[in-house]
């Protein structure tokens, strides 16, 4: 028959071990929770434009000077910011960028306009850009408005969908032929949980919402109060140990 005293002693040791483990894990994990909550609340106070210095720094491109060498077929050159000759889908093209952000592609010699690019060219660009496991292109469609949270321009753009496992979609600028962004089921899942994390369920890019700020402050108070309770527990444990020795 098992000794009741030994059984109680084992349970007591197990309880003490579990209590110590819980206490120290709470201190270790709670510190990170405190940092997460405090930094989250602090980021909610900061203006994202000021963080990026967009309120004091202009990124507007300069227009080309009057004496710059430009192709003869460019009659209207007052607002041109850049002229680039590059390769697009295996062919040489001249890209012209203007101050208002407009982009156009031309044949280098004749100046014949090549943009917006057709679906066949967009498909070819997407095939060249693909470096994953062998796959094919499922569909291509022209978009001129935001596609949920996964693509917000510039427009118009070609949405090219691959036949891969992750259902990858790539967006190709119809004006310049540039690959703008690539999205997959993995990105969509991450975007969803990111929205939950920053408490922005629609745009996924607002870290200054009152919801996030209030919950961040509340979580910080909870974490700090937890450390206060944890600190108060240490002296009581020591006092109980001393009282036990005196009683003996």
Q: What is the pLDDT of residue 218?
A: 79
Q: What is the pLDDT of residue 164?
A: 93
3-state SS track over the chain: CCCHHHHHHHHHHHHHHHHHHHHHHHHHHHHHHHHHHHHHHHHHHCCHHHHCCCCCCCCCCCCCCCCCCCCCCCCCCCCEEEEEEEEECCEEEEEEEECCCCEEEECCCCCCECCCCCHHHHHHHHHHHCCCCCCCEEEEEEECCCECCCECCCCCEEEEEECCCCCCEEEEECCCCCEEEEECHHHHHHHHHHHHHHCCCCCCCCCCCHHHHHHHHHHHHHHHHHHHHHHHHHHHHHHHHHHHHHHC
Q: What is the pLDDT of residue 7?
A: 62
Q: Does residue 138 carry a pLDDT above 90?
A: yes
Task: Provide mean pLDDT across the span 47-73.
Answer: 75
pLDDT tens digits along 10-28 = 777 776 777 777 677 777 7
Q: Does residue 118 carry a pLDDT above 90?
A: yes
Reported pTM? 0.72
């Amino acid at each position: 028959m098992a000794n009741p005293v030994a059984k109680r002693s084992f349970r007591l040791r197990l309880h003490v071990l579990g209590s110590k483990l819980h206490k120290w894990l709470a201190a270790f994990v709670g510190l990170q929770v405190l940092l997460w909550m405090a930094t989250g609340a602090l980021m909610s106070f900061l203006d994202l434009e000021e963080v990026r210095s967009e309120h004091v720094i202009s990124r507007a491109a300069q227009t080309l000077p009057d004496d710059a060498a430009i192709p003869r077929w460019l009659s209207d050159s007052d607002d041109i910011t850049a002229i680039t000759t590059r390769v697009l889908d295996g062919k040489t093209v001249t890209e012209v960028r203007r101050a208002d952000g407009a982009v156009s592609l031309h044949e280098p010699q004749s100046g014949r306009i090549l943009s917006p690019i057709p679906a066949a060219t967009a498909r070819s660009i997407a095939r060249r850009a693909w470096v994953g496991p062998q796959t094919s292109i499922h569909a291509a469609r022209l978009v001129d408005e935001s596609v949920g949270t996964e693509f917000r321009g510039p427009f118009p753009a070609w949405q090219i969908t691959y036949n891969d496992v992750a259902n990858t979609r790539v967006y190709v600028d119809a004006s310049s032929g540039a690959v703008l962004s690539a999205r997959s089921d993995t990105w969509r899942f991450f975007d969803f949980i990111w929205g939950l994390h920053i408490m922005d369920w629609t745009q996924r890019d607002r870290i200054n919402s009152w919801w996030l700020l209030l919950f961040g402050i509340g979580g910080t108070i909870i974490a700090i109060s937890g450390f206060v309770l944890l600190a108060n527990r240490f002296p009581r444990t020591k006092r109980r140990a001393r009282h036990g020795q005196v009683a003996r």
